[in-house]
Amino acid sequence: MITFVNPNFAKELERFGEDTASECFNCGTCAAICPLIYEHFPRRMIRYIQLGAKDRILENAQELWRCLHCGLCTQTCPREADPGEVILSLKRFVVDTWRRS
Amino acid sequence: MSSETKIETNPEKIGVYICYCGGNISDHVDVEAVRDRAEKIPGVSVARTNMFMCSDPGQELIMEDLRDGVVDRVVVASCAPSLHEMTFRSAIYRAGKNPYIYEHANIREHVSWVHHGEKATDKATLLVAAATAKAGLLKPLEPIRMEARRHATVIGGGVAGLRAAKDLADRGIDVVLIEKSPFLGGQTAQLDRIAPTGDRAADLISDLAGQVLQDDSIAVHTCASVEKFEGYVGNFKLGVKKQSAQTNAQQILAQLKPSGKKPGEFIPFAGLYPWPPPASDEKFSVETGVIVLATGFKSYAPYHGEYGYGELKEVITLPKLIRILAENNTAGSCLKIDGRNIRHLAMIHCVGSRKIPGVHPEDESGNLNEYCSRTCCSATLNTANIIRETYPETQVFEFYRDIRTYGRGQEELYEQASRNKVIFLRFEAQDSPEVSKNSDSDDFPLRVKVRDALTFGEDVEAPVDLVVLVTGMEPNNVSELVDMMKIPVGADRFLLEIHPKLRPVELSVAGILLAGTCQAPMDIGETCTGASAGAVKAAALLARGYVELDPFVAEVDLHTCNGTGACVEACLNEGALNLVEMKIDGKKVKRAQVAPAFCLGCGACVAVCPENAIDINGWTLKQYEAMVDMIVSDDVVA
């Protein structure tokens, strides 16, 4: 499957919360510290935001609801990209998209 | 120094000094056993050991024996001579003796680091014994002293050449600067705003070239190149050709007219144009003491089809984009090139750099640029930032392998790009992005597809309007200079310094120095650092008014020479050996004569002389024979 880059998605997401995903430099600290979920969470989601891979976010949206918002990722992020807050924004975006669909 | 010089002192007083090297040697070599054996070698008057012979107390040991007359030949057994031969020669000199009565035995790299146990001790003993055999036959030598012309020639009129010329002139040395093109400023003139300071290339060049042109002790020659080279440090002679360059000149004049620019002004993307080329070809020669090479680099030209270059018109290089941006006057929030909106712009890093054998193809000449060009990451980020800040509607995607923004203020460019929402995609060397025509219905002409390492190896595709190839640096082709001057060149085709850390701007050819990107990819600041270093080294060579050359050159025994001329034919350096007429015992005869300043000390002449009438001082056949005799002798390691 091919993911398409869509730089306009960042703008679309602004409506749902603070957009700090572009600060991320993909170090993976957030995924390492996350106590609940393996499989590169929340790093992969943030990467999808950077690319604007909307479809991939929606396909994997269930992952978002396993997050308990403990805040460890936000605390440890070296770029202050605030992954916890970005995940919340994504939840709002997904809910909004579901409602419309 | 003539062959008749007898060994003035009794050569039976050899001092042997063996180093522990703090365990580096003594962990594997029984240093005291070597000492006991060395003491018994004929001619050895003392044999001593020390924890660190190169330390002050170690050196003092040697100097004291010399001053007391206990020894008159010195053998030190320690590390490689490249490390400490000079140290001990200068200790001998400080003790008031001739520094050439010295022989070095390497018992660390050649013994303790590669052998163990008894065998190591035996080999160390043999090397020490061989050195003493040679030492017994050493004679005091004098360095060859040649008058040095207080004049420097700088080849290349880019930032490196300009910087070096100005620094030399400031030191009170007359300088000739030779530039091939009609312009000053070199490759820097191909830039606009320079990272990370935002300086204009035009300002930097106008400032530096202006200083050079105003300096009375610098003679600048544009449209000029070096055709002939002869001589040696302190006394080089260069043949220079100045070309009228008709076509080039016309192009430039045509370019000057509409811009209203006159000679003496800076012309964007060409350089500072001091004066028109000469009306006709001219030739002249320059007598000079030192030469600074500042021959610079050229931007890598992608091969046909590399990421679609040459096949797809929307694929260009970074230098081209920089020029387009500088010359673009169209306003608007989206970058427009040739009337086309550039909504998505892809930049592909490491084009022509960091290539891997077996992964990337070699070019037609079999070259593969395995090095990192170092400056392109910052140049790319700088350009991306300029675009994002000037044309917010133009999105930038950077396809990279690693981001290497070394140096002050340059990592900040990367952070700035993140804030500017530049999208980064990372590829492994074997998974280069693919650029193709877009066949889908959306109106982006190109697609860039990549296996994105940041998205865990997923295939990612970006629709784009323009692909920019971030091309690296390649050294300018200076093969003619390299052949003429016999300069070493690295596997990467950049000119090769003597030592990358300790002697970074000197070449193995004495009196020729390096400045700037002819040596390696560098940014402008590093180029100036290198150029200033080259200028200082050049000035230091000329400061005393004379240069001293090692005396390890050929010497003819006029009593044995019968003038066959075999040595002259075998000689590798033209001018070093000549057959000359002279009177011997009242008869006119032809005999070989050495020009010491030209002699390389290679020994090719020694090998071919049927009479054994020629030898290399400090490395005579007799000395070799004595060493070999000692190595095969059964007496030493008994």
pLDDT band at B48 (very low <50, low <70, confident <90, very high): very high
Interchain CB contact of A1 with B (< 8 Å) = yes
User: Which of B418, B456, B462 is nearest residue A5 as measured by Cβ atoms?
Assistant: B462
List the domain boundaries for chain B.
1-143, 151-296+476-547, 300-472, 553-616
Q: Do B460 and A4 touch (CB under 8 A)?
A: yes
Tell the burial category of B296 from Cβ atoms under 10 Å away from its Cβ (0-12, 13-18, 19+).
buried
Q: Which fold has domain B300-472?
A: FAD/NAD(P)-binding domain (3.50.50)
- What pLDDT shows up at residue B246? 58
Residue of A69, A96, A78 lying closest to A14 (CA atoms): A96
Q: Which of residues 598-627 of B touch A (CB under 8 A)?
A: none
Q: What's the mean pLDDT in B562-578? A: 92
Given a cut of 50, is residue B7 above it in pLDDT? no
- Return d(Cα B619, Cα B59) in angstroms, integer: 25
CATH 3.90.190.20 for domain B151-296+476-547: no
- The string of pLDDT tens digits covering residues B207-244 is 999 999 999 999 999 999 999 999 889 999 999 999 98
DSSP calls for B199-236: EEHHHHHHHHHHHHHH-TTEEEESSEEEEEEEEETTEE
Check residue B519 and give left, alpha or beta (phi > 0: left; psi -120 to 50: alpha). Answer: alpha
CATH numeric code, B1-143: 3.40.50
- A–B interface: beta-carbon pairs under 8 A: 56
Interchain CB contact of A51 with B (< 8 Å) = yes
Q: What's the mean pLDDT in B524-550? A: 95
pLDDT band at B328 (very low <50, low <70, confident <90, very high): confident
- The string of pLDDT tens digits covering residues A24-51 is 999 999 999 999 877 899 999 999 999 9
Q: Are B581 and B565 in contact (CB under 8 A)?
A: no
Interchain CB contact of B430 with A (< 8 Å) = no
pLDDT band at B1 (very low <50, low <70, confident <90, very high): very low
CATH class of B553-616: alpha beta
ipTM (interface pTM): 0.93
Examine domains B151-296+476-547 and B300-472 and report if their fold is the same: yes
- What pLDDT shows up at residue B349? 98
Long-range contacts of B56-60 (CB under 8 A, 24+ apart): B58/B17, B58/B19, B59/B87, B59/B88, B59/B91
- Kindly list the residues from chain B whose CB atom is less than 8 angstroms away from the CB atom of residue A22: 418-419, 421, 423
- Return d(Cα A83, Cα A12) in angstroms, integer: 18
- The string of pLDDT tens digits covering residues B415-459 is 999 999 999 999 999 999 999 998 876 789 999 999 999 999 999
Helices (H) and strands (E) in chain A, counts: 6, 1
- The string of pLDDT tens digits covering residues B273-323 is 999 888 899 999 999 999 999 999 999 999 999 999 999 999 999 999 999
Q: Do B456 and A40 touch (CB under 8 A)?
A: yes
pLDDT band at B5 (very low <50, low <70, confident <90, very high): very low
- What pLDDT shows up at residue B203? 97
- Return d(Cα B185, Cα B168) in angstroms, integer: 18
Interchain CB contact of A23 with B (< 8 Å) = yes
User: Quick one: tokens of B175?
Assistant: 């300088």
Interchain CB contact of A50 with B (< 8 Å) = yes
Residue of A2, A7, A89, A55 lying closest to B449 (CA atoms): A2
- Kindly list the residues from chain B whose CB atom is less than 8 angstroms away from the CB atom of residue A1: 458-459
The percent of residues in chain B predicted with pLDDT above 90, rounded, is 85
- Kindly list the residues from chain A whose CB atom is less than 8 angstroms away from the CB atom of residue B458: 1, 3
Preceding peptide of A7 cis, ω within 30°: no
